[in-house]
Amino acid sequence: MLYTCTSRRAALYTSTFFVTAMFIAPPALARETLYSQIESAAARVEPAVIGWRRDIHQYPELANRETRTAALVAEHLRTLGLEVTTGIARTGVVAVLEGAKPGPAVALRADMDALPVAERTGLPFASKVRSEYEGQDVPVMHACGHDAHVAILLGAASVLASLRQEIAGTVKFIFQPAEEGAPRGEEGGAALMIREGVLRDPDVEAIFGLHVGQQGPAGTATWRERGTMASAQRFDITITGKQTHGARPWEGVDPIVVGAQIVTALQSIVSRSVDITSAPAVVSVGTFNSGVRNNIISDEAVLSGTIRTFDPEVQGRVHHRMRAIVSGIAGSMGAEAKLEIERGVPVTWNDVDLVQRMLPTLKRVYGPSRIFPAPMTTGAEDFAHYQQEIPGFFFFIGARPAAVPPEAAVPNHSPFFDIDEAALRPAVIAMSQLAVDYLTGGD
């Protein structure tokens, strides 16, 4: 296990003897020295990491509105002497650390946005923020742990900046907006950052990202090769009926009744039209809006939801059945319906060679008995867009509070979601060592 701390004197090798020995030491010994320096630097920055996490948690911001978070991030990165660029993909921040030695470029990524969720954790730094989301006034909460992601990457930037003289190559720190999806009518997230050149100048060879959750206690991690998280697509259904008085429904076409039939029929796609033994799939309706008064049958209903798949063929089958159900039910009941399916997020695909190369790093950080293979998850991550451009490795870190038993683990996106902050320091070490080990070719 890690977390041992060497003294500042030892970490910096002020003795001429040790400085000389470092230059003549074999690569394995040099890496051991660097590991110790990373551990010590992570221990020093841990209080700041916890402070950043709490500050960002208390003042969350929705997708493409992360202005305060971005300003906090950029300010600290500049104090580290990094080359900082802001305003990428609206509110994104990118910092570049040039090592003192030549080498390739690697990227570390964190997402910054929060969710329209009313926090119910009872934390002293719980969010009381409200904002506008798609025309509605909503509460805002870091219910998915992105506050921790930002703090972890700020910690890794601090650690690696303190070791600039030992780094062979370049590290890009990517602080990304809108991972949860940009508001309707806007672009954002990883896809927009890529189009605006975040992986170029210098060209990045590989990228690493992580996600906190209560799937395990602090000090554990999980990983998976190949398909890790599902493809996610938003769908919207607009049903047009005929408005009438609620007391005379036969004189109109009720879009709510039509929508209710559609919602029920959509549930049959996965249960009756998909071979779930070959690849999982999900079709869920998340919103259903219609009407303004109890005794008026509206002329329109609008539904939205999400599709999750791991296989392109299954995805195509789901789309086909959805179109048939929506048009068929609406037509049979005298209504019209339009189904729109967004391109969405691809499968989070962990490059096999990169995983095998870097897995020893995670095992070193967490210990071989505290890192586990992860099952596929129908959650989605727009980190997948980076992985379509370059090899990427996305893994998960346990952060379940010690007082929460495994059977009571709180899922991400819950108003009760919280983390054990003891998970932060090992995550800082992991991100730092992944970058260093990739650049040096070590394990």
**CATH code of 377's domain:** 3.40.630.10
Query: Which pLDDT does position 21 carry in this prediction?
Result: 37
Residues 205 and 251 in one domain: no
Q: Where are the beta strands (DSSP E) in 22-135?
A: 83-88, 92-98, 101-111, 130-133
Residues 202 and 278 in one domain: no
Distance CA 14, CA 6 (A): 13
Query: Which pLDDT does position 51 carry in this prediction?
Result: 98
Residues 203 and 247 in one domain: no
**115 lies in some domain:** yes
**3 lies in some domain:** no
**126 lies in some domain:** yes
Distance CA 340, CA 350 (A): 29
Final residue belonging to a domain, choices 341, 358, 393 = 341
Query: Which pLDDT does position 442 carry in this prediction?
Result: 57
Query: Which pLDDT does position 30 carry in this prediction?
Result: 73
Query: Which pLDDT does position 27 carry in this prediction?
Result: 63
**156 lies in some domain:** yes
Final residue belonging to a domain, choices 341, 356, 386 = 341
Residues 146 and 211 in one domain: yes
**CATH code of 277's domain:** 3.30.70.360
**Mode of pairing for the β-strands spanning 92-98 and 83-88:** antiparallel
Per-residue pLDDT of the chain (443 residues; tens, 9 = 90+): 443 333 333 333 333 333 333 344 456 667 788 999 999 999 999 999 999 999 999 999 999 999 999 999 999 999 999 999 999 999 999 999 999 999 999 999 999 999 999 999 999 999 999 999 989 999 999 999 999 999 999 999 999 999 999 999 999 999 999 999 999 889 999 999 999 999 999 999 999 999 999 999 999 999 999 999 999 999 999 999 999 999 999 999 999 999 999 999 999 999 999 998 888 999 999 999 999 999 999 999 999 999 999 988 999 999 999 999 999 999 999 999 999 999 899 999 999 999 999 999 999 999 999 999 999 999 999 999 999 999 999 999 999 999 999 999 999 999 999 999 999 999 999 999 999 999 998 55
The yes-or-no answer on residue 179 being catalytic is: yes
Torsion of CA 364, 375, 171, 143, to 10 degrees: -110
Which of 39, 61, 119, 179 is labelled catalytic? Answer: 179
State the residue range of the domain holding 288: 231-341
Residues 81 and 177 in one domain: yes
Distance CA 39, CA 351 (A): 27
Distance CA 105, CA 350 (A): 19
| CB of 266 closer than 8 Å to CB of 283 | yes
Domains: count for the chain: 2
**1 lies in some domain:** no
Residues 198 and 235 in one domain: no
Which of 39, 113, 254, 418 is labelled catalytic? Answer: 113
Query: Which pLDDT does position 136 carry in this prediction?
Result: 93
**314 lies in some domain:** yes
Residues 306 and 213 in one domain: no
Final residue belonging to a domain, choices 341, 363, 379 = 341
Residues 252 and 215 in one domain: no
| CB of 3 closer than 8 Å to CB of 43 | yes
The yes-or-no answer on residue 336 being catalytic is: no
